[in-house]
Structure 1
Amino acid sequence: MNKVTVLGSLNVDTILRFKRFPKPGETLPLAGKSIAGGGKGANQAIAAARAGAQTTFIGKVGQDQEGDFMVKQLTDSGVDDQYVIHSDEAATGSAFILLDSSSENRILIDGGTNQQVTTDDVKAAQPAIEASDFLIAQFETPIAATIQGFELAHAAKRRTILNPAPATSAVPVDLLALTDLIVPNETETETLTGIHITDEHSMIKAAEKLQAQGIQTIIITVGSKGAFWMRDQDHGFVPAYKVHAVDTTAAGDTFIGALSSVLKTDFSNLAEAVRLANRASSLAVQQLGAQPSIPTKAEIQAAERA
């Protein structure tokens, strides 16, 4: 069983569903409204735990009902919450997900306590980092905290996985140097490299550019098409499973969490781990909501047998 620690965000998601996005100045009725647990970090941790990894979370929530709700989402999925801090500095993070009838989404985020995670908070979780096979982080918490976590992981010879989302071109070179595996989608890849992703040739060029910045293992996810991977000079493309998508909100997070649950620390099974992560992601997009849609190991295995 892999041991995974996730440093990241916890958000309460408000999902607003409608037929189409309104035009400027236009008012449209909602087709539905729901509340669910979210945040890229929490999604990835829950995906890892449900897929079978022993998972610990590092993060921060407010002293509010939303914070209690988010911690319960973690613990109900078997995630260790001992390094989740309850803070009175701000409210628990929140996100508003706009979802149209074609399953296209647009997301607005209020970071709240996610933006209050400090290097000291990460240092306090050093035992969990040192005991893990992988440390995963995103960009919904301060980059300084992520650098601290990755430094602790490398000092303990543990592997690091960076999901550079939300996309930013201002990624510190010292963070890239501490990253063992980077997992951007096509938009984030273009932001990082300046290369527009159109086909496998452009993916190879973008991955080579990331390798030139010190990251030897790259996975580029391209939604319903699948995922490209490169390890040193070896590379390949794993097609996605064809399903009817209802909500793609947590698809990428499910991919990363499931990947971490089966990936070997020497990355020798990278292609097979990507294939299984694609399977988990294909299950997640068939249900509404971020965390409610994340599949369990049993569900992934059942889909594999079907």
Structure 2
Amino acid sequence: MGSLNVDTIQHMDKLPERGETIHINSLTSAPGGKGANQAVAAARQGAQVSFIGAVGDDANGRFMKQALADNQIDVSRIVTKSVPTGSASILLEADGSNTILVYGGANMRVTVEDVQAAEDEIAEADAIITQFETPIPAAIRAFEIAKKHHVMTILNPAPAKKIDAGLLRLSDFVTPNETEAQVLIDQDVAFNQDSLMNAAQALEKLGVKNTLITLGKSGSFYKVADKSGMIPSFKVKAVDTTAAGDTFIGVFAANIKNDLSNLVPTLIWASRSSSLTVQKAGALPSIPTFAEVEADEK
């Protein structure tokens, strides 16, 4: 469950200073949104994926539904709202760094009733993922239904914001980046194992069961049950870091076993997948297939 955005990518050498006017080098558009990216990442791993979300009655909405359908994702639970489809403006610098401005649009109109109508789909799932780009009450209801049916719940707490701990307690996995972790626990998080462990323990006090913290080019940190450690990144030349974290989460969800017996190999596979994503421009178009990750491994 999550967001569907049409991304407009503005390619530039560097971000403008306040009050500065600059020329952009090129302008491109692509399907995106955290929800769509994570769903496609899972689908391209071979998972069977259904999507709960909303679009507007407009060309962008039809474009987003078709983009998911083209990836063999079930779009029957995507509803139409009387506001425009979500969109994002991505300011992409020459070194691959990005700054993103998001318009929620129809994404922010997903209701508890929309989620309730999809109970059968949730009940049949192995896992459900959601983020903060749709309303929190809808996310809570989705995870309540999931727990009722013993479905794994994965919360990507992005974009960063402080929330009631109720949703955290319903989450089997919480997957922030370092900035999002800082906001959730209201304390600094450094890129070292002691600081990351402290962050995971602070999240545990809020009710979080298992934590995965993504750290960009520094890799990722996990604390799952009584196990913890660092997963290194794969060193590549980044073209566009958009959707790297979404790829990691979608790939993780598609491959992790219910008993978590393949935890570390899955995290390494997710990290490799993300390294392929950042080598291409765009969000959804850059996400690799299982075969592409497998070929890179060889």
Tell me if structure 2 keeps the 8 A contact 1:167–1:191.
Answer: yes
Q: Which residue of 2 aligns with 1:76?
A: 70
Q: Residue in 1 aligned with 2:124?
A: 131
User: Are 1:27 and 2:25 matched, yes or no?
Assistant: no
| Superposed structure 1 runs of 4+ greater than 6 Å apart | none
| Corresponding residue for residue 166 of structure 1 | 159
* Alignment map for 1:1-306 (pairs within 5 Å): 7-87=1-81, 89-169=82-162, 171-198=163-190, 199-305=192-298
Q: How many Å separate the matches in 2 of 1:121 and 1:288? A: 33
Residues of 2 paired with 1:216 and 1:122: CA distance? 24
- Report how far residue 197 of structure 1 moved: 2.1
> What CA distance in whole angstroms lies between the structure 2 residues aligned with 1:19 and 1:115?
32
The Cα shift of 1:268 comes to 2.3
Match of 1:4 in 2: none
**Normalized against structure 2, the TM-score is what?**
0.98
- Please, what TM-score do these two structures have when normalized by structure 1? 0.96
Matched residues in 1 for 2:189 and 2:63: separation? 38
Equivalent pair of 1:61/1:67 in contact (CA under 8 Å): yes
Distance 1:111 1:103 in 2: 24
Which range moves more in the overlay, 280-289 or 101-110? 101-110
The one-letter amino acid of 2:121's match is: A
Q: Which moved more, 1:269-278 or 1:134-143?
A: 269-278
How far apart are the structure 2 equivalents of 1:228 and 1:19?
31
Instruction: Tell me, yes or no, if the aligned pair for 1:229 and 1:271 is still in contact at 8 Å.
Output: no
Q: Deviations over 1:171-217 (max 9, x none)?
A: 12211111100000000011111232221100000001111222221
The share of aligned pairs that are identical, in percent, is: 47
Instruction: Report if aligned partners of 2:273, 2:288 keep a CA contact under 8 Å in 1.
Output: yes
Letter in 2 for 1:291: L
Contact 1:56–1:128 (CA under 8 A) maintained in structure 2? yes
- Measured on the aligned residues, the alpha-carbon RMSD in Å equals 0.8
1:203-232 per-residue CA deviation (whole Å, 9 max, x = no partner) reads 000001111222221100000010100112
The CA deviation string for residues 213-265 of structure 1, in whole angstroms up to 9 with x for no partner, is 22221100000010100112210111000000000010000000011111011
Task: Supply the AA of the counterpart residue of 1:27.
Answer: T
Indicate if the aligned counterparts of 2:169 and 2:209 stay in contact, CA closer than 8 A. no
Q: Distance in 1 between matches of 2:260 and 2:222?
A: 11
Deviation at 1:120, TM superposition (A): 0.4
> Structure 1 CA distance, aligned partners of 2:221 and 2:168?
19
Preserved CA contact (<8 Å) 1:195 1:202: no
Per-residue deviation, residues 86-117 of structure 1 (Å, max 9, x unmatched):
22x20000000001111111110110000000
Match of 1:3? none
Between the aligned partners of 2:173 and 2:20, the Cα distance in structure 1 is: 44
Provide structure 1 residue ranges, at least 5 long, that are not aligned to the other structure. Answer: 1-6
**How far off its partner does 1:266 sit?**
2.3
> C-alpha separation between the residues in 2 aligned to 1:139 and 1:85?
18
Q: State the number of aligned residues.
A: 297
2: CA distance, partners of 1:163 / 1:195: 19
Asked if 2 retains the 8 angstrom alpha-carbon contact of 1:49 and 1:78, the reply is yes
Q: CA deviation at 1:51?
A: 1.1
